[in-house]
Chains A and B, each alone.
Chain A
């Protein structure tokens, strides 16, 4: 009986932890149903690809640094600072516009719902039918 409880607790913690760590690249519903590969997701966050289905992308970012954000970019193979340097390079050379900055994931979700071509990243538990999930981290 004790073993069953232990296994139950471990499974519960595993599921909680997994849910906590899992992040999604999400977009406004105007993009329609679409799933991206990891490579396509990388190209979008690096601004090497600025459109999905011929529709321009407006990237969103959260100011400062938080664990979930760092984890999201790490799972794509990049440090947050590397991503920010790439964005800054594009902005300072006039090649692209800077991502729209928000303060919290809740605000990011609200902006993604509001702005027609918005693309951002959210923890899995905030991804619902109001946004399109483009890519989920493993």
Chain B
């Protein structure tokens, strides 16, 4: 490297550092790493089709790198990059996502606006579902466990990111507030053009919507220092133009079942009393499906009940009781998720989980967590010998969440 280039780099470094300081740029983030012993079996266990599974997995569940800067007194920017499951592009591990990037205008406490890409206000947990330092779980309630996104298309269940959100808090009294948020954003991922899903070749760039629909929604709620509850709505389109169905016992077919309006309803509440916190959420996802399609789905269930479901509807909920004592916490959680159009994963009754965990705040930046999970489901495997079998899953987890 010649001296002139070195000098240029030196001045560029000075300029960049001065620029970052002037912009009040802050870089921060968090990591969750964990070890999991995973055991699963069908009951009755027969080695014909369903041998027991025993595996250990470990590593970085998630790493988020964030940055924010204050542009003026009212305007600031925020960036959130996410790496999941020991991300490596060369090895094909995990995912890298531009989770959020937006500019925020805080006009008043009663009215703020965010524009860019952000996680919308839907129920209470969704806004923090990928911020591990704020909850006691290693594995989140099922409807938010996005680390299994290669197994379950969770973003067909959860609302899409918002591109614009107006929100704020209206005071009833000094401590009692009405919280509200209104947003709109892209349609679901299946209506966004990509390399594997080129919807309007030659017209729409990959990563952009190829549909006139916008997802939209709101949350309205009440909060004070001890209680929080709210009601949420989200509407979008359910794209079933490339619906995979096992209309024979052997191989799947891709069939066009059209696009249909879909809505999500959510309810959330949280109450604190003494050292206890109870929090709960429910999400109902309904697709307005014509009767002839519902009849066809029912017919397909009879052909292959292990894969085909009766509707496109989904239901998820969880209830958590948490006890905090000084720097320690313990929780018990019951959670459930069912997507009837994905019976291969959720079975015929959905997946129900019993979770118990204890943890310790070693410092403000480091949380030590443990969690035991027992998930149950029931599957119609379509086998001649005992077709309907129960599924039992046990997970023993140890994890660390830390911020930097």
Tell whether, in the assembled complex, residue A51 and residue B109 are in contact, meaning their CB atoms are under 8 Å apart. yes
**B225 near A42 (CB under 8 angstroms)?**
yes
Contact partner of B364 among A43, A46, A85, CB < 8 A? A85
Number of residue pairs A-B, CB distance < 8 angstroms = 63
B66 cross-chain contacts in A, Cβ below 8 A: 92, 94
0/1 string, A30-59, CB within 8 A of B gives 1: 000000010110110010111100101000
A127 vs B76: C-alpha distance when bound (angstroms): 31
A40-B174, A50-B109 known; A93-B128 Cβ under 8 A = yes
Question: Given that A42-B175, A85-B134 are known contacts, is A94 also in contact with B106, CB under 8 Å in the complex?
Answer: no
Q: Do A94 and B133 touch across chains, with their CB atoms under 8 A apart?
A: no
Within 8 A of A (CB), among B71-102: 73-74, 76, 78, 80, 100, 102
User: Which has the most chain B C-beta neighbours within 10 Å: A39, A48, A51?
Assistant: A48
A38: nearest chain-B partner, CB-CB: B174
Interface string of A80-98 (1 = CB under 8 A from B): 0100110011011110011
Interface centre among A46, A48, A94 (most CB of B within 10 A): A94
A94, B78: Cβ atoms closer than 8 Å: yes
Could you say which residues of chain A place their CB within 8 Å of the CB of B102?
94
Q: Does A137 contact B (CB under 8 A)?
A: no
Is the CB of A117 closer than 8 A to any CB of chain B? yes
CB-CB under 8 A from B106, the residues of chain A are: 50, 56
Closest to A56 in B: B73
Taking a contact as CB atoms under 8 Å apart, the answer to whether B131 and A89 are in contact is yes
Contacts A50-B109, A54-B108, A56-B74 given; indicate if A89 touches B169 (C-beta within 8 A).
Answer: no
Interface-centre pick from A46, A81, A88 (highest chain B CB count, 10 A): A88
Whether B133 pairs with A88 at a CB distance below 8 angstroms is: yes
Task: Tell me, in angstroms, the Cα distance from A117 to B72 when the chains sit together.
Answer: 12
A46 to B361, CA, bound (A): 20
Within 8 A of A (CB), among B17-73: 26, 28, 30, 64, 66, 68, 70, 73
Number of interface residues of A (CB under 8 A): 24
Distance between Cα atoms of A93 and B133 in the complex (Å):
12
* B133 and A92 form a contact (CB under 8 A): yes
Contact between B364 and A97, CB atoms less than 8 A apart: no
Task: Give Cα A84–Cα B327 distance, bound, in whole angstroms.
Answer: 13
Q: Which of B141-171 contact A (CB under 8 A)?
A: 169
Report B256-286 CB contacts with A as 1/0, cut-off 8 Å.
0000000000000000000000000000000
Q: How far is the CB of B23 from chain A (nearest CB, A)?
A: 12
Inter-subunit contact A81/B76 (CB<8 Å): no
Q: Does B104 contact A (CB under 8 A)?
A: yes
Contacts of A56 in B (CB 8 A): 73-74, 106
3 interchain residue pairs of minimum CB distance:
A94-B78, A39-B174, A56-B73
A-B contact pairs, 20 of them (CB 8 A): A37-B174, A39-B175, A42-B175, A42-B225, A46-B225, A48-B169, A56-B74, A85-B364, A88-B364, A88-B403, A89-B128, A92-B64, A93-B131, A94-B66, A94-B80, A94-B114, A97-B26, A97-B70, A97-B76, A98-B68
